């Protein structure tokens, strides 16, 4: 690449805002051989995310065995959809839909044709016994409605959890057990209603604490026990107050929630949730090195413009979800489980040397393929010799390079989902009109039911201890969106075990509440708010947020 390209500022071809391509960006583009992007990092992220439906599910039929299944594809989508067992069966393969590459037509047009023909899998729950209703997930056991998660057991209604056991309503957690309604927690046991805690146990309503045990309503504490609202109590006093809080009742929890919200409102926060980070910026990071503009990133190094970059991801750029020993991944979504050398991949796992592919597994040397398993040297789902593969894939690369397209993610219209079904709408909310105007799809199919409630919350005993329902028969009504929802048996047993009152919001509203609390995956340049400190930093707290934001040094002085 020419030296003159260094630290170039360009206008984004999409949002028209200026963005910088930095020197190390160019070295990465050079290494993987792609064109520098012509849209800014946020527009790139929005486009990628619009290709992933994580948790908007529908009932439809498997087009092979005709069983009713839960699927991320609404019944009106123009695709053939198989249930998990049918899709991963050996009696068919994506290669049955092979196309001959023709240099007379644009490659992406041919890819689109293939994409429409190859059957889709209803939900992706790899190697996950007893976990039928999990998606974009692998290696889970007895889990229900968990998404983007690996190596968990007995966990329910959770998002982005890794190596957890018995957690409910938890997001972005790793190595947690018996955790409830918590976000961004690591290595913790029996932690409830908490955020950004590490190594904590048997505690409620905790924020930014480390190594705390038996605490309630604390913030910014390290290695403390029997603290309530950041004050020390004896064990006996602590137990007495805890009992009086009635945390086994809905009222008790909500009272404490409100008091806690008030208590932490004037406590300083660190500019970013980071622990053991070196030469990195972003938010929600732990044990990372050389990670720039990364959000939710742990045990990883040398990554840039990434979200969910974790468990030994190295050398990735522009990825949304890359983890479990992956390297050299560019502009991809869900590049997991021993992937390497991927350019523009969507949900390809255990693959290497893959360009412009979707839903391929355990395969190498693929270009423009969809839904292949255990294949090598395939283009548009057709088998070639190693030599032919090289010649034709170079031809396609050249075509894309001529149009300055090589390295750009798939065009918007190739997404299998409506914008409102994807996390793009969480990070970059658009109305239906705006989305369509921008060229995204939209899904109008209704989900869920109303007016079918069998029980009112006021008719349930106030303590979960006395609540003895035949839970699988009951239908609840969400207090926020009025949709019906159910509580499954294992979830009910979890609430009983932890003395947690039944939730009054549907799982969807519970998820949305946690996501909103995390803030956006964006950075603002701001100043430390401690008097007399002039330190500056990149933070996800936008300038109009009410929180008091400190730099690392000032924050450390505040932590007990």
531: Cβ–Cβ under 8 A, 6 or more apart, which residues? Answer: none
Is the Cβ of residue 176 or residue 272 nearer to Zn ion in the bound state? 272
Token representation of residue 457: 């919350």
How many helices (H) and strands (E) in the chain? Answer: 12, 32
90: Cβ–Cβ under 8 A, 6 or more apart, which residues? Answer: none
40: Cβ–Cβ under 8 A, 6 or more apart, which residues? Answer: 12, 14, 15, 17, 19
- In contact, 46 and 428? CB cutoff 8 Å: yes
Is the Cβ of residue 88 or residue 189 nearer to Zn ion in the bound state? 88
- In contact, 450 and 473? CB cutoff 8 Å: no
Sign of the torsion formed by the C-alpha atoms of 386, 388, 394 and 399: negative
Is the Cβ of residue 61 or residue 255 nearer to Zn ion in the bound state? 61
Is the Cβ of residue 286 or residue 526 nearer to Zn ion in the bound state? 526
Dihedral, CA atoms, 506, 510, 513, 515, nearest 10 degrees?
-130
For residue 88, the minimal CB distance to Zn ion (Å) is 10
For residue 382, the minimal CB distance to Zn ion (Å) is 26
Positions in the binding site for Zn ion (CB under 5 A): 12, 14-15, 40, 43, 62, 64-65, 83, 86, 478, 480-481, 506, 509, 528, 530, 533, 535, 551, 554
Strands, sheet with 364-367, edge to edge from the N-terminal-most edge strand: 274-278, 282-310, 313-323, 326-336, 340-349, 352-358, 364-367, 376-379, 382-383
96: alpha, beta or left, given left = phi > 0 and alpha = psi -120 to 50? alpha
For residue 478, the minimal CB distance to Zn ion (Å) is 3
6: Cβ–Cβ under 8 A, 6 or more apart, which residues? Answer: 23, 26
| Helices assigned H by DSSP within 118-244 | 235-244
Is the Cβ of residue 136 or residue 528 nearer to Zn ion in the bound state? 528
Give the three-class secondary structure for 152.
Answer: coil
For residue 83, the minimal CB distance to Zn ion (Å) is 3
For residue 332, the minimal CB distance to Zn ion (Å) is 19
For residue 555, the minimal CB distance to Zn ion (Å) is 8
Is the Cβ of residue 40 or residue 288 nearer to Zn ion in the bound state? 40
Dihedral, CA atoms, 69, 73, 78, 79, nearest 10 degrees?
-70
Is the Cβ of residue 64 or residue 496 nearer to Zn ion in the bound state? 64
For residue 66, the minimal CB distance to Zn ion (Å) is 7
Is the Cβ of residue 52 or residue 526 nearer to Zn ion in the bound state? 526
Report the alpha-carbon distance of residue 318 to residue 11 in Å, rounded.
18
Token representation of residue 396: 């396609």
Is the Cβ of residue 247 or residue 551 nearer to Zn ion in the bound state? 551
Token representation of residue 116: 């429409």
Is the Cβ of residue 132 or residue 399 nearer to Zn ion in the bound state? 132
For residue 166, the minimal CB distance to Zn ion (Å) is 24
Report the alpha-carbon distance of residue 381 to residue 325 in Å, rounded.
26
For residue 503, the minimal CB distance to Zn ion (Å) is 10
For residue 352, the minimal CB distance to Zn ion (Å) is 30
For residue 82, the minimal CB distance to Zn ion (Å) is 5
- In contact, 297 and 303? CB cutoff 8 Å: yes
- In contact, 491 and 474? CB cutoff 8 Å: no
Token representation of residue 2: 């020419």
350: Cβ–Cβ under 8 A, 6 or more apart, which residues? Answer: 337, 338, 339, 361, 362, 363
DSSP 446: -
Is the Cβ of residue 481 or residue 498 nearer to Zn ion in the bound state? 481
Is the Cβ of residue 259 or residue 527 nearer to Zn ion in the bound state? 527
Is the Cβ of residue 234 or residue 266 nearer to Zn ion in the bound state? 266
For residue 105, the minimal CB distance to Zn ion (Å) is 29
For residue 222, the minimal CB distance to Zn ion (Å) is 19
Residue closest to 370 by CA, chosen among 49, 99, 94, 123: 94
């Amino acid at each position: 690449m020419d030296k003159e390209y260094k630290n170039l500022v360009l206008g984004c071809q999409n949002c028209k805002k200026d963005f910088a391509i930095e020197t190390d960006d160019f070295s990465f583009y050079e290494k993987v051989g792609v064109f520098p992007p012509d849209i800014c990092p946020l527009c790139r992220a929005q486009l990628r995310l619009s290709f992933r439906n994580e948790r908007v599910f529908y009932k439809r039929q498997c087009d092979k065995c005709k069983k009713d299944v839960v699927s991320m594809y609404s019944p009106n989508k123009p695709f053939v959809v198989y249930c998990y067992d049918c899709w991963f069966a050996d009696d068919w393969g994506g290669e049955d839909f092979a196309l001959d590459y023709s240099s007379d037509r644009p490659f992406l047009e041919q890819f689109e044709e293939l994409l429409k023909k190859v059957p889709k899998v209803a939900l992706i729950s790899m190697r996950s016994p007893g976990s039928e209703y999990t998606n974009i997930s692998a290696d889970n056991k007895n889990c229900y409605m968990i998404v983007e998660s690996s190596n968990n057991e007995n966990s329910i209604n959770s998002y982005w959890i890794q190596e957890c056991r018995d957690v409910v309503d938890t997001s972005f957690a790793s190595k947690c057990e018996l955790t409830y309604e918590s976000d961004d927690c690591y290595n913790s046991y029996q932690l409830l209603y908490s955020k950004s805690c590490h190594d904590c146990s048997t505690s409620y309503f905790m924020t930014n604490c480390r190594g705390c045990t038996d605490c309630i309503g604390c913030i910014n504490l390290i290695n403390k026990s029997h603290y309530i609202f950041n004050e020390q109590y004896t064990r006996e006093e602590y137990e007495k107050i805890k009992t009086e809080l009635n945390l086994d009742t809905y009222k008790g929890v909500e009272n404490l929630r409100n008091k806690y919200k008030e208590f932490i409102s004037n406590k300083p926060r660190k500019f970013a949730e980071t622990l053991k980070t070196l030469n990195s910026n972003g938010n929600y990071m732990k044990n990372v090195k050389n990670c720039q503009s990364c959000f939710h990133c742990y045990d990883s190094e040398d990554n840039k413009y990434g979200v969910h970059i974790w468990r030994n991801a190295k050398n990735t750029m522009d990825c949304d979800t890359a983890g479990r020993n992956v390297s050299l991944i560019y502009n991809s979504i869900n590049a997991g489980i021993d992937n390497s050398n991927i350019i523009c991949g969507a949900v390809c796992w255990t693959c290497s040397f893959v360009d412009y592919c979707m839903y391929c597994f355990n395969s190498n040397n693929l270009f423009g393929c969809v839904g292949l398993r255990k294949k090598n040297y395939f283009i548009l789902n057709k088998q070639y010799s190693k030599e032919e593969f090289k010649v034709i894939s170079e031809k396609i690369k050249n075509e894309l390079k001529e149009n300055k397209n090589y390295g750009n993610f798939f065009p918007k219209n190739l997404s299998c989902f409506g914008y409102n079904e994807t996390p793009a709408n969480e990070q970059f909310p658009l109305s239906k009109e705006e989305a369509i105007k921008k060229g995204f799809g939209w899904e109008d199919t209704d989900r869920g039911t109303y007016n079918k409630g069998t029980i009112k919350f006021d008719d349930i005993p106030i303590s979960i201890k006395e609540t003895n329902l035949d839970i699988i028969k009951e239908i609840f009504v969400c207090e926020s969106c009025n949709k019906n929802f159910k509580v499954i048996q294992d979830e009910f047993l979890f609430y009983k075990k932890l003395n947690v009152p039944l939730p009054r919001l549907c799982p969807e509203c519970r998820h949305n509440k946690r996501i909103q609390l995390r803030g956006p995956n964006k950075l603002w340049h701001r100043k430390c708010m401690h008097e007399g400190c002039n330190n500056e930093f990149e933070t996800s707290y936008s300038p109009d947020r009410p929180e008091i934001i400190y730099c690392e040094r000032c924050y450390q002085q505040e932590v007990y």
